[in-house]
Amino acid sequence: MILVGVWPRFAANMETVTIPIPNGVKGLIFDLDGTIIDSMQMHFESYNHALELWGINYPREVFFSRAGIPTLKTLEMIAEDYGIKNPDYNGVIERIRNYSRDNSDKITLIEPIFDIIKDTSHRLPMAIGTGSGRKHVDEILKQFSLKQYIQHVVTATEVTNGKPDPETFLKCAALINVDPEDCVVYEDGVLGIEAAEAAGMQVVDVTKYL
C-alpha cells in the first residue's frame, strides 16, 4: 500500500493524515464534491436558499445522507417528502446554480486528495465520477485547473442511473481503459461507496482520513 497525501490537520501538534493508494491498482477514480473539493457546506446553503421557494428548511443530516444523488432526483425526493404539488424544479435548480456560482469562492481543494492527484497523474490513469451536472463540473474543473491532471470525467449528465448504481464508475473505468477490479474509487458519500462496491472496485472512504 502506497501512502500519498500528507495533511497537517492540527497545526499545534502537527498531526498528519495519510491517504492510501492500494497496492496493485491500475486506475484511480475520484468523486468530486466532498472528495476533491470542499464544497458540501456551500451546496447545503445553496439548497436551502433555493428551497425558500417551497417554504422548506432542508435538514442538514438529510442533505448529507443524499450526497451523490443528482440534483433533479434529490428535488423529486424532497417534493415527495414534503408533499409539494406541481413543483417548479427548473426554478429551484436555477436558484441553486446561481447561488453556487455567486459563492464559488467558498469552495477549496481538499489538499490530501489533490496531492494524490498531482503526485500520481503521471503514472496512473485517472477519472472523475460525480453526481453533479456537467455545467457545474466544467466550472469547477476550470476554477481549479484540474483538467491538466484528469482528462476523463463522467457527470450526472452522461448517465442514466446515478449513484448508488455503478454506471458512473463503470463508465469511468471504460474511459481510462482499466478493468473495474483494477480500479480504486475515492469517495465521501455512502451512495458513492455503494456504487463503487457494486462496480467491483476497491474503495477508499476519505471521511476516515479527513
165 catalytic per annotation:
no
Residue 160 grid coordinates = 442514466
Q: How distant, in Å, are the alpha carbons of 32, 107, 185, 196, 199 from that of 42? A: 14, 7, 24, 25, 29
The half-sphere exposure of 152 on its side-chain side, counting CA atoms within 13 A, is 21
**Could you tell me which of 200, 167, 183 has the C-alpha nearest to residue 70?**
167
3-class DSSP assignment, residue 202: strand
Specify the length of the chain in residues. 210
3-class DSSP assignment, residue 8: strand
CA distance 64 to 134: 21
Residue in this structure with the C-alpha cell 490530501, named with its chain if needed: 112
Q: Which is the catalytic residue, given 31, 33, 38, 188? A: 31
For residue 89, count other CB atoms closer than 10 A to its CB: 13
CA distance 127 to 150: 6
3-class DSSP assignment, residue 193: helix
Annotated catalytic sites, by residue?
A: 31
